[in-house]
Structure formats: structure tokens, C-alpha cells
Amino acid sequence: MSRRKNACRLAVFTAIAIAAGNVAAAEFPATPPAPGPAPQLTVPTPSTQTLANGLQVISVRRAGLPLVTAQLVLRSGGEMDPPALAGLADLTASLLTKGAAGQSAPQIAAAAEALGGSLDADAGWDESAVGITVTTPKLPQALGLLAEVVRQPDFSAAELKRAQAQAIDDLRLLLSRPTALASLAASRGVFGDGAYGHSRGGTPASIARIGRADVQRLHAALYRPDNAILILAGDVTAAQALALGQASFGDWARPATPLPARPAGKAASRVPAIVLIDQRGAGQAGVVAAHAAPSRGDDGYYVGTLANAVLGGSYSARLNEEIRIKRGLSYGANSRLQPLRDAGLWLAAAQTKNPSAAQVVELMLGEFKRLGDNRVGDAELAARKATLIGAYGRSLETTAGLAEQVGELAVYGVPLDEIGRYIAKVQAVTPKQIEKYADKHLNAGASTVVVVGDAAQFAADVRKAHPQAALLESTALDLDSPTLQPVVGK
């Protein structure tokens, strides 16, 4: 039985015992104990080798269990979507496993299953990836299958049509959710018409515009060995990794043409600072506040990680404490810091009753300001550090998690031995550094606030504090536009 199940059973039995009068409630402390010492992690430094065609092969060995995760990662993702084709990189990645080298999607799935694994493919910002986890003896065959889907995808018209229909259905459902819609609109407000400003998953209109030639063109431009990283994490040595990489990808020809230029991640925003989107009849309102943040290569990466953990990175963080626990205005409020290659995003979100949306806006902005105006207490910071360190340690427990961490470092050009320095870097962050970081990057005048819901119930209250707030209709919203509004005459 897993530790989680044991913990859940213990909690249930304890509650029953207290209710029955068998255990005195006073025996349990009113507050949780202080965090214990940080765990000591031993993570081998990944080994890096490069094939003649430019493919980088990175391996990190974890002996003792005959299991390996293999990932082929491209250093390009949704930021390379053409302006009118948001979601193209994501759609292209999803089609890789839907037919390749003369095999249909069911045949590819069956081949992966016969190896004891499954192929997963998707695209994020700055990267696209296909991966599989298998036992060590099956690794050569798994890499052969991986090479086929990456290098010889069919992109059949039938599979493209099916994928488009599924994506459009998913997007329509997503955009009906107030907080999801607010998050996409806020991102557009932060990044403008820069490469990170559009919806990475696309919009119903942009997905419908994509043709087979667009998918083939993107694949030909970006899926090439000098833009790729093969990551092997688990029971494999560096010498074996090089030989396996050569066997499956050594004859992958590097094109004579250079890689396409990367567009700027951020551009001047043409979205108002406060946007109210009327989604008439919505049962609740989604409130989002977003700020530009530094890139992944910024020296303050770990300070920002801690600052976000204090603000809204966990249940007991400040946003949830103020909005949910103290006032009961939401089932949950949180924040995330997303450092990318050329820029970054700091976004806080909460869903609340329509009439309380204005109050949540002020609470959210107040917590941003407080983080930059006051020092974080030692106990609060220690708790946030313990949360981050614990989550990081858990992420490395599986070969898939280990491969993911290594892949992120490689994609962003961070030294790979950083994987073993995470705990020390987090522990070194001070309250003064957090205050300074938040003061610089959470300037209230540089924020984009978006509220989506039944505007008749909150617009007037929001405008009391923010008379400049713009009101848009959700039915007329255009997420493909840098202004969120359709171009007149288009």
C-alpha cells in the first residue's frame, strides 16, 4: 500500500476515533510542526554528447531498476506558430503518433504497448517532445519507434481532420470557463503580439484554418537533428546512450538551410490594463492578474520561484489564505511563475461569485503590493522552501520526472549540473531578495487584470476603483487579435 493511502486511512481512523470520544482532540497540536531539515538528494550529473548531425544526446544514469525514459525534445514550440495559425505546433506534435512510416495510429499504439509503454507527444512554449518509458532491454526498439514518429510522420488528411475537430471541441469547452478565458486574455495583455501572446493551444478559428501543408511545413522547418535533444534517463550508461542515439538517429540528415529565426517573445501590449469580459449568464467570475516576468536564464530565477511560492504557489500561500481561508470568496486562489526563453509570465487566478469579483481584484492586487513592500517572515519562508524542495524531490523519483527536469535545463541552456543544486539554491534565498524581486516585477502599474463573468453583477463595483476598465463582450472576443477585438472590416 502506498504512503498516500496509508496517510489517508490514518486520517480517517483518527477522525472516527475523535468523533467516538476515544482520542482527545487536545492531543493534536493546533498548528503543524515546523518543517524538518531539507533532504539530501544525490543526482548524477547528466552526460552530454553530440552526434555528427548536431543531435545532442543527454543521459543521466539511475542504476538499480531496469527502466529508461526516452524523450526526443525539440528546442521549438508554440512560439513558432505563424500569426494566423495559433496552435499549429501543438497540433503538429499531437499528430506525430497518429501515423508514421506506413503505420496507422492504432498500429503505433499497439507497437508501443507491446514494448510495455505508450508514446506521448505534445508541444509547450520553447519545446516540443515525444517520449516513452520502457524496460532497459526494450530500449533499442523503443528508440526505433520514436525515430519513426519523429522523422517519418504521415500527417494524413483524415487524422488531421479528426485532430482538428477534437481540438476545437476542447477549446470551446475551455473558453466557456471564466478563469481559463481570463488567463488567455491576460497573457495577451502581457505579451502583446509577441510570440508568447497567443493561445498556445490555438483558438477554434485558428485551428480550423490549419491545412496539411502548414503542418508539413512546420515539421520540415523545426524537426531536424540540430534542433533536437535525445534524453535518456534511467538504467543506461553514457556509452550506451551514444551508441543507441547513433543507431536510431545517426542517419537523420541535417538540412543545409538555417533554422528559422525566433520571433520576439514579448511586444508592446494594446490591451487595456483592466479588462472586464461579459460572459452573460456565467455562474461565477474568473479573476486573473498577470505581470511580465524575467526569462528562465535570469539570475533571479530561484528568488522568483520562492516569491511565487509565498504569493500563491500552494494551499497555505498568501492568496489562498486571504481569498479562500479568511473570507470564503473562492474554492482556491493561486499563482504561477512561468519563465520562458525570451520573457516570462507571473499570473494569479481565482474563481469567485460574480458579486465578489471586485473584492477579489483588490485582494489580489493588495497581495502583490504587500510582497514587494514587506519582508517575508522566517517561518513563512521556511514553510515555502520545504514545500518546493519536497515537490522537487518527488519529481525526481521517476525516470520520466528525471528526464523532464533534465530536458528543461537543456532547452533553456542551463548547466545540467544545476539539477543537483536545486535544494542549495532554494535554501540560499533570503527575505530581502524576495522583497526586492517582487517590488521590481510586481509593479501594480504594469499589471493586466482580467475579469470574466456576468459583468452586470461586478462591472460597476470594479469601475469604482478602476474607472478606466474596458468592457468587452465574450461573444465578440478575438483571442487571435493583439487587441482582443476583431479587426474592423476583416
Mean local confidence (pLDDT), 393-405: 95
Are 38 and 386 spatial neighbours (Cβ–Cβ below 8 Å)? yes
Residue 487 pLDDT greater than 90, yes or no? no
Main-chain phi, psi angles of 155, to 5 degrees: 50, 50
pLDDT at 15 over 50: no
Of 57-61, 158-162, 445-449, the one with minimum mean pLDDT is 445-449
User: pLDDT value at position 42?
Assistant: 78
Residue 216 has pLDDT above 90, yes or no: yes
**Each residue's pLDDT tens digit, 443-474:** 766 899 999 999 999 999 999 999 999 999 99
Closest CA to 185 of 487, 474, 456: 474
If you average pLDDT over residues 262-279, what whole number do you get? 94
pLDDT tens-place string over residues 303-318: 999 999 999 998 999 9
- pLDDT tens digits, residue range 70-85? 999 999 999 999 999 9
Answer yes or no: is pLDDT of 34 > 70.
no
- CA-to-CA dists, residue 168 to 209, 321, 361, 473, angstroms: 11, 36, 31, 21
Q: CATH number of 274-476: 3.40.710.10, 3.30.830.10, 3.40.50.720, 3.90.1150.10?
A: 3.30.830.10
Tell me the mean pLDDT in the region 168-188: 97
Residues 199-215 have pLDDT tens digits of 999 999 999 999 999 99
Query: 369-398, pLDDT tens digit by residue?
Result: 999 999 999 999 999 999 999 999 999 999
- Which residue in 249, 60, 295 sits closest to 151, CA to CA? 249
| Domain at 47-250, CATH class | alpha beta
Mean pLDDT score, 137-147: 98
pLDDT band at 477 (very low <50, low <70, confident <90, very high): very high
41, pLDDT greater than 50:
yes
322-350 confidence digits (pLDDT tens)? 999 999 999 999 999 999 999 999 999 99
Whole-number CA gyration radius for the chain: 24
| The pLDDT of residue 196 | 97
Q: Report, as an integer, the average pLDDT of 128-150.
A: 98
Residue 404: its pLDDT value, please?
96
Q: So what's the pLDDT on residue 82?
A: 96
- Residue 242's CB: how many other CB atoms inside 10 A? 19
**CA distance readout (Å), 119 to 74, 131, 147:** 16, 6, 12
Q: Long-range contacts of range 302-306, CB-CB < 8 Å, 24 or more positions apart?
A: 302/425, 302/426, 302/428, 302/429, 303/429, 303/433, 303/434, 303/437, 304/337, 304/339, 304/344, 304/346, 304/437, 304/441, 305/337, 305/388, 305/426, 306/381, 306/384, 306/385, 306/388, 306/426, 306/429, 306/434
pLDDT over 50 (residue 13): no
Looking at residue 96, what is its pLDDT? 98
Residue 442 is predicted with a pLDDT of: 85
Q: What is the pLDDT of residue 33?
A: 64
Q: What is the structure's pLDDT at 446?
A: 83
- Quick check: 185 pLDDT over 50? yes
Start and end residues for every CATH 3.30.830.10 domain found in the chain: 47-250, 274-476
